[in-house]
Structure 1
Amino acid sequence: MKFIKNLSKLSGCKAGILTNQSAFGWNRKYHFLSYSEYLKIDTLFLPEHGLFAELQDQVSGSDLQYLFGDCNIVNLYGDTEESLVPKQEVLQKLDILIIDIRDVGSRYYTFLTTAYYMLDAVSRLKKNTGKAPLFIVVDSPNPIGDAVEGTPLSQEFESFVGVRSVPHRHGLTPAGLLNYYNETFQLNVELAVISSGVYHPKKYNPSLWIPPSPNIPSQTTCYVYPGQCLLEGTNLSEGRGTTKPFETFGAPYLKGKAKEELDKRLSKHQSSSVLLRPLRFLPTFHKFQGQICEGYQLLVEKPKKFHSLYFTLFFLRQVSELFPEFEYLKGVYEFRSDKPAIELLAGDRKILSYLAGQMTDSDLKSYLEIEEKNWILASKRFRY
């Protein structure tokens, strides 16, 4: 891997770019427009949600159209699982491939999985033809810092919402995680990084936050997402259809004496890092559209001390014990139907055993602490 200061020395190269609206600010423009001033933009690759994050989760972007010169538009979130991987004939036309897109710090978030699929495709192209585009990552800070949560995803659960061996909250920048993939999986791709200090401040400024997708409206959403994304695998609302997705959550059936008991159990496990505000909310779309939900708003007072994954696992365990209406969803999730969504998201048999009531809270905490320390050591050389 090598660091480069800018792309001006590559003037005239035929480029492909994976990007969306989150790559904004350099010269007060969208970055892909700035690149076009000195590179020939041959192909614009779009991730899930589209170029301007206009599509909701798990909605195909195959019908999206944009007018951007004469460049090709390749949507990498279409109607089938095959659409997630760029075709070899598209990549072999390129001199350079630029990854310029923001991450939120959790392995479920699909943007860096898309980038990994592209990295793997470039690796296969190099093996097949002996030639491949230079892979360039425009790095940016991790919006939730370098803290780690969770355990490595087991290979049996690998999917679009989780690459093997990566924990739930990885603590790396985009360049760090992609370089980890490149070296750990022996992809042998020529990878270059534009340092975050060139186009981006060292830390995110919350007042300048640009939603990378529709349901990550603020930086605070990123702090709860490593745990709260697990709600996607349940019949609890994760707050889609509200103005505070993932921070707001609940269901119509969270009521009665069982709700009172749930409140007691949650209050015993609250810490100074988080405050739960009881509320009612009405989702305008998605789960329980138009129905009053009983639930909570998760207010993170001390982000550095809050362990989102443990909170959500504990919450799901209590709900499953107290409410017979609660269930884990079945059916298609991110193109997969062979495993329930909760298995793909949890990604670990021991965590699934905790949710099933087969592991104590203290044992779960100990297990998480050990695995998190292991990841910090394993990923140390990829922290920039």
Structure 2
Amino acid sequence: MIQKLFKYTLIAIFFANASFGQININEEKIEKKHDASLIIKTEIITGAEQFEIYFPKIQGKRVGVVTNQTGITNGTKIIGKKSCNEKTGMGTCAIFEQISIVDFLIENGINVKKIFSPEHGFRGDADAGETVKSGKDIKTGLPIVSLYGKNKKPTQAQFADLDVILFDIQDVGARFYTYISTLHYVMETAAETGKKVIVLDRPNPNGHYVDGPVLKNGYESFVGMHPVPVVYGMTIGEYALMINGEGWLANKVKSDLEVIPLKHYTRESTYSLPVKPSPNLPNDLSINLYPSTCFFEAINGSEGRGTDKPFQVYGSPYIKNMSYKFTPKPNSGAKNPRFNGEICYGEDLSESPYLAEINLSWLIKAHQNYEGKEPFWIKQSGKYWIDVLAGTDQLRKQIDQGVSAEEIKASWQEDLKEFKKVRAKYLLYN
């Protein structure tokens, strides 16, 4: 174990390009016996890649791992080389094999007892909202406990044979993306059972801005548990600190929490996710548009599930005066998409510029051009789904009343100002 850890430490020192999200901060040419052109490139290093920090904290402990397909790190196996300087093509850097954090821990003698999986499952291939069953991982034989469906909060019995919980999931920085709700419940059960939680931090691809309505009392749900805006501009590690610090866990219990922070990350860092975080967020554009286009889940229309551009198009059979059209069909990310086989009219947003704020103009335009017999806004369990996603009924009412996007966004500003004061206490990065 010591020899393996030493080998990994050498790799961490000599290959700072261990992260697959690319950001050039510094380049240093070094002399090496067999490769004088090797360039060391300083890039974002995730919490998972800093094993030299968290291994001593879990060595000899019974470990539960909360993760999915995004919980990856790099093994010692070099599978190729790449240009270190993408602009000039100069220098070569090693490309390491990506492996699951679970496999990495087991390979290094860590006593992993079980895996906990969030929405979409351990391998990340379940549809949004689909019940994820518990089971067994074929590769490792470890039990997988689903934290989606009826068992969103792990039971105390499920934590009874564990000493520490390792949390490693890639977030996308939108309040209605349920991984932060899973984080909340994991921290809550850990606090109730006296178990330590270690969050391996990862970058937020939408961490460069804060926007949207702040969730109001009475609108809490699994797609919005806390009084935060739709886009909160924090990494999942920072968010964990805020959950703990603001007393949001049941009965204001405090989790024994530690965050393994990122290296070389700022809120303006560009970061391309190495693995899609869920089936319908396949690329950087869909992730960037998601905080704006997820609102289309709340209308009698489609947000592009069942196409090759999920969250990058929107439409409905009942939207008029728009020429772009698409037809949702079953695919790997949507087994039964809304309006399956029907022509939807709307807009293709795949050429949109990179967003640094929520775009409401698309939702307002769809509302203005809607001519369906059924209401524009859909209900689930007797509630307007837009109210659940927005965390308030104000957005729906404003759009119904014809309020402009500028006026709607102006109405958020006081709440955003107060949230940023709270948020500032927990920020780990500039």
Q: Quickly name the TM-score band, shorter chain normalised.
A: 0.7 to 0.9
Q: Are 1:30 and 2:95 matched, yes or no? A: no
**Higher strand proportion, which one?**
2
SS in 1 for 2:65: strand
Q: Tell me, yes or no, if structure 1 residue 294 matches structure 2 residue 345.
A: yes
Asked if the contact 2:305–2:311 (Cα under 8 Å) also holds between the matched residues in 1, the reply is: yes
Deviation at 1:54, TM superposition (A): 1.1
- Per the alignment, residue 128 of structure 1 pairs with none
- Say if 2:263 is the partner of 1:192: no
Letter in 1 for 2:54: L
Partner amino acid, structure 1, of 2:378: L
**Cross-structure match for 2:83:** none
Deviates more, 1:370-379 or 1:18-27: 370-379
Alpha-carbon separation, structure 2, partners of 1:14 and 1:360? 55
Task: Work out whether 1:170 is the aligned partner of 2:241.
Answer: no
| TM-score (norm. length: structure 2) | 0.74
Change (3 A) 1:311 1:139: farther
Alignment of 1:297-308 (within 5 A): 297-299=348-350, 301-308=352-359
CA 1:140–1:166: 2 relative to 1, 3 Å: same
For 1:40, the aligned partner's letter is N
Matches within 5 A, 1:129-140: 132-140=194-202
Greater CA deviation, 238-247 or 368-377?
368-377
Aligned residue in 2 for 1:327: 376
Trace 1:143-154 onto structure 2 (pairs within 5 A): 143-154=205-216
Superposed displacement of residue 229, structure 1: 1.0
Distance 1:316 1:279 in 2: 12
**1:7 & 1:352 partners in 2: Cα distance?**
45
Contact map agreement 1:140 1:200 (CA 8 A) in 2:
no
Deviation of 1:351 after TM superposition, in Å, equals 1.9
In structure 2, distance between residues paired with 1:87 and 1:198: 37
CA contact (8 A) 1:26 1:199 kept: no
**Structure 1 equivalent of residue 27 of structure 2:** none
Shift of 1:303: 2.2
Cα drift, residue 66 of structure 1:
2.3
**Structure 1 stretch 278-287 or stretch 14-23: which is displaced more?**
278-287
SS of the equivalent of 2:347 reads strand
Q: 1:305 to 1:122 in 2, by over 3 A?
A: closer
Report the Cα distance in structure 2 between the residues aligned to 1:172 and 1:250, rounded to whole angstroms: 31
TM-score (normalizing by structure 1): 0.82
Q: Give the superposition deviation at 1:323.
A: 5.1
Is 1:279 the counterpart of 2:333? The answer is no
What percentage of residue pairs aligned between the two structures are identical? Answer: 28
Aligned residue runs from structure 1 range 184-333, under 5 A? 184-185=246-247, 186-197=252-263, 203=269, 205-206=271-272, 209-255=274-320, 259=321, 279-285=324-330, 286-299=337-350, 301-308=352-359, 310-319=360-369, 324-331=373-380
Deviations along 1:80-108, one digit per CA (max 9) or x if unpaired, are 3xx11101011132111011000011000
1:49 aligns with 2:93: no
Partner letter of residue 181 of structure 2?
T
The residue type paired with residue 120 of structure 1 is E
Task: Give the match for residue 270 of structure 1.
Answer: none
Matches of 2:280 and 2:409, distance apart in 1: 29
Instruction: Work out which of the residue numbers 45, 61, 67 in structure 2 matches 1:13.
Output: 61
* Aligned match of 1:265: none
- Which residue does 2:16 correspond to in 1? none
How far off its partner does 1:157 sit? 1.0
Structure 2 residue identity aligned to 1:307: I
Letter in 2 for 1:279: Y
Over residues 173-201 of structure 1, what are the superposed CA-to-partner deviations in whole Å (9 max), with x where a residue is unaligned?
Answer: 00111111111124311111112229999
Change (3 A) 1:214 1:350: same
Mapped to 2, the partners of 1:35 and 1:202 lie a distance apart of 31
1:360 positional shift: 4.9
Change (3 A) 1:70 1:52: closer
> C-alpha separation between the residues in 2 aligned to 1:351 and 1:364?
7
Question: AA paired with 2:411?
Answer: Y
Residues 92-103 of structure 1 mapped to structure 2, 5 A cutoff: 92-103=160-171
Q: Is 1:156 the equivalent of 2:156?
A: no
- Separation in 2 of the partners of 1:201 and 1:14? 34
For structure 1, the residue ranges without an aligned partner over 5 or more in a row are 126-131, 261-277, 332-336
- Shift in alpha-carbon separation, 1:104–1:361, aligned structure 2, 3 A: closer
Deviations 1:129-187, CA, capped at 9 Å, x for gaps:
xxx11111000111122301112211211111011201101100001111111111243
C-alpha displacement at 1:59, in angstroms?
0.9
1:87 aligns with 2:155: yes
Q: Is 1:150–1:371's contact at 8 Å kept on the other side of the alignment? A: no
More helix per residue:
1
Between 1:12-21 and 1:115-124, the stretch displaced more is 115-124
Deviations 1:44-85 (A, max 9, x none): 00111111111111111116542243532101113x3xx111
**Larger Rg, first or second structure (1 or 2):** 2
Tell me the secondary structure at the aligned position of residue 245 of structure 1: coil
After superposing on structure 2, the runs of 4+ consecutive aligned residues of structure 1 that deviate more than 6 Å are 198-202
Alpha-carbon deviation of 1:306? 4.3
Residues in 2 aligned to 1:323 and 1:30: alpha-carbon distance in whole angstroms? 47
* 1:374 matched to 2:418: yes
User: What is the alpha-carbon distance in structure 1 between the residues aligned to residue 410 and residue 296 of structure 2?
Assistant: 23
